[in-house]
Structure 1
């Protein structure tokens, strides 16, 4: 099954529109779960809906300059990163609305941004900056954070995707958390 999925991902990367749609349909439940996890963790104060986030991420992946994906784990990590960026952008727009109601651009309607949403946006921006810095230092660790923290995959699932032991993933997780904590504390 994973070999078939990996082949489908490669076909979708080769600009095969039928393969791209089939890939989206095949991974829809998993992508929906990832979107829900993002909103539960990062966007609770936002009025963004799970399905909206999922479909916006899909449009970003299909319509953008997405890199080639050779396997399921890399595709899911990229999709998770795209969703995280969309949540951050949505939160930023909410903050901009709060400052200047004339610049009203939203994905879901005319809801008033809350103080909690503004605080969430600032925290998300700090975390995103830290993750971008981690990605430049240790891309594999940044991908691990995306898969575990943002996508909600377990260490066992990540270990299976990467072909390593669960203990190796746990060790990498501790290292990623330490590097992220150091980066966030340096920014504060």
Structure 2
């Protein structure tokens, strides 16, 4: 992972042009960052294991199609572009899981934990949907915390990389992760009194 400051000037220029709505620049940016984007797609597919509804290349290309329907929001640097790509991939997977679950309509949720080691093991479709919904709610409350979760949990960025991308200290990135994790744990496992 790198940010715009570490990216070749051509990538930084493509990010700026893509952010301004230049479709050709968006296509060129996708091509320039294809290897990194494919790494994110492979990570997502590996994380889901047998439950993955798609292969890495198909997932990446379907997520790319979502880029064309993107509403607003900037890509000030490469890490935010990659975070957006990871969210797009997650959205594609969630849509496929929802479609599958609509057919099956099985079982209830079980207690879910959220930590860095757990990211590679999220394979239950119900758990994946619950994490996605909780993360969407967190994004409405605190987009910075949601971005930290996207970068660490879904993209696999280190806290040092997150800190660099967000212009904060590594310690601050760790605190943001812990705060987000507590929020999501609470959202995923409400106390019995709240459920009543």
The worse-fitting range, judged by mean Cα deviation, of 15-24 and 82-91 is 15-24
In the TM superposition, what whole-angstrom CA distance separates every residue of 1:75-129 from its partner, at most 9, and x where no partner exists? 1111111111111111112223446xxxxxxxxxxxxxxxxxxx82211111111
Q: How large is the RMSD of aligned CA atoms in angstroms?
A: 2.1
Structure 1 regions of 5+ residues with no counterpart?
100-118
Unaligned runs of 5+ in 2: 1-5, 106-122
Q: Distance in 2 between matches of 1:83 and 1:66?
A: 18
Partner of 2:158: 154
Q: Which position in structure 1 is the counterpart of 2:7?
A: 2
Which residue of the partner structure matches residue 186 of structure 1?
190
CA distance in 1, matches of 2:177, 2:131: 16
Q: Are 2:32 and 1:22 aligned?
A: no
Q: Residue 74 of structure 1 aligns with which residue? A: 80
CA distance in 1, matches of 2:49, 2:72: 24
* Residues 53 and 93, structure 2, Cα contact 8 Å, conserved in 1: no
Match among 120, 134, 140 for residue 138 of structure 2: 134
TM-score normalized by the length of structure 1: 0.81
| 1:62-84 C-alpha deviation (Å, 9 max, x unpaired) | 24335332222221111111111
- TM-score, structure 2 normalization: 0.78
Paired positions, count: 169
Cα separation, 2, equivalents of 1:70 and 1:64: 15
Question: For residue 90 of structure 2, what is the aligned residue in structure 1?
Answer: 84
